[in-house]
Amino acid sequence: MRWIAYAAGTLVVLLGGAAGYVYAASNSKADREYDVPLQHMAISSDSAILARGKHLATAITKCVECHSDDLGGKIMIDDPALGVAVAPNITTGGVIANYTDDELVRVIRHGVKRDGRSVIIMPADDYQHLADEDVAAIVAYLRSVPAVDRTSGQTMLRPVGRTLVAANILPLYVAERLDHTRIAPSMMVADTSLAYGEYLANVGGCTGCHGPGLGGGPIPGLPPEAPPASNLTPTGLSKYTDEQLETILRTGGRPDGSSVKQEMPWRYTALMTPLEMRATIKYLRTVPRKEFGTR
Ligand code: HEC
Ligand code: HEC
């Protein structure tokens, strides 16, 4: 998850004289406060719900990919020009100690932190689709994870990062692009229906990376050298049987013997249940065909 700046050099020259403007403009985005009301949700500590939360956080929403397997956080990016992005410690030994349950629900589904400001990078645009029951299970699970005593520092923008943010080239502040009035379902029935397959494709980030229409192409915010996401419509996937597709999602290996690149989180899709796998593949078979690159 690196967002590197190809246009950076040029922009720095162009805007070099406007450092004060850049500083102020990037600060105003970082400091913008979002007035998103808290939604109250009962958080259970029932063992079946904790297990559901754990499964969602690893196999589906993949919180662990950024916040690390023990959820104790890590430095995601440390770039001398762009800055530092830290996925914080989200165990009770870290930032969530200061969060109420309702505030946690809000930061997951709206990308709005306790202080009203936006998170960076975290895909709240995928998580806004999470059903009440599922977001509540994730919060319950976070509260139950063993506390980790680790800090990885602070997120911080350096001059090139600030310039790209000020110029609206780097879409860093997630809350800025969300429809905060969207209503999520209260629950979803976990079955092999197309509705559940679509739900998993949304909250699981397939649409976030492969595009709202799943046509694939460069992933916004990633550097140009990053591999584009593949076409997941029948145009791209009809060459695979369901079994081959499942093998790709479980092992990262294609039938021709090649490997899917690391940017595709197959280590986590590998952990989907057979039912989730069936629902997801069934859904991918039904989406309208799109040309590669049309997202
Ligand atoms: C693609 C990477 C990524 C994923 C996936 C991700 N996060 Fe984050 N998360 C971040 C980053 C980066 C920040 C820090 C944002 C900042 O400093 O503005 C963050 C911030 C947070 C915060 C707020 C901490 C604070 O400082 O106030 C919480 C809580 C959180 N994440 C929980 C989750 C949960 C729960 C999931 C899964 C449902 C998740 N995150 C998935 C990258 C990610
Ligand atoms: C963080 C971004 C990201 C997420 C989330 C993501 N993918 Fe991918 N995926 C990629 C990228 C990038 C590639 C291309 C990898 C390559 O070129 O080897 C890819 C490749 C694939 C491929 C291989 C296609 C082929 O023809 O080789 C399949 C299948 C796939 N993804 C399915 C999914 C599904 C299903 C989901 C949701 C459960 C998903 N992906 C979520 C980034 C992502």
- Check if 265 has its Cβ closer than 6 Å to any atom of ligand 2: yes
* Ligand 1 geometric centre to CA of 87 (Å): 6
The rounded distance, in Å, linking the Cα atoms of 40 and 27 is 31
The rounded distance, in Å, linking the Cα atoms of 167 and 153 is 26
- Check if 61 has its Cβ closer than 6 Å to any atom of ligand 2: no
For the chain, state the CA radius of gyration: 19
Contacts of 197 (CB under 8 A, 6+ apart): 279, 280, 281, 282, 283, 284
Q: Which of 63, 96, 128, 155 to mutate to test the pocket of ligand 1 (most atoms within 8 A of CB)?
A: 63
* Ligand 1 geometric centre to CA of 18 (Å): 32
Residue by residue, pLDDT tens for the chain (295 residues) are 444 555 555 555 555 566 778 888 888 899 999 999 999 999 999 999 999 999 999 999 999 999 999 999 999 999 999 999 999 999 999 999 999 999 999 999 999 999 999 999 999 999 999 999 999 999 999 999 999 999 999 999 999 999 999 998 888 999 999 999 999 999 999 999 999 999 999 999 999 999 999 999 999 888 888 999 999 999 999 999 999 999 999 999 999 999 999 999 999 999 999 999 999 999 999 999 999 999 9
- Check if 121 has its Cβ closer than 6 Å to any atom of ligand 1: yes
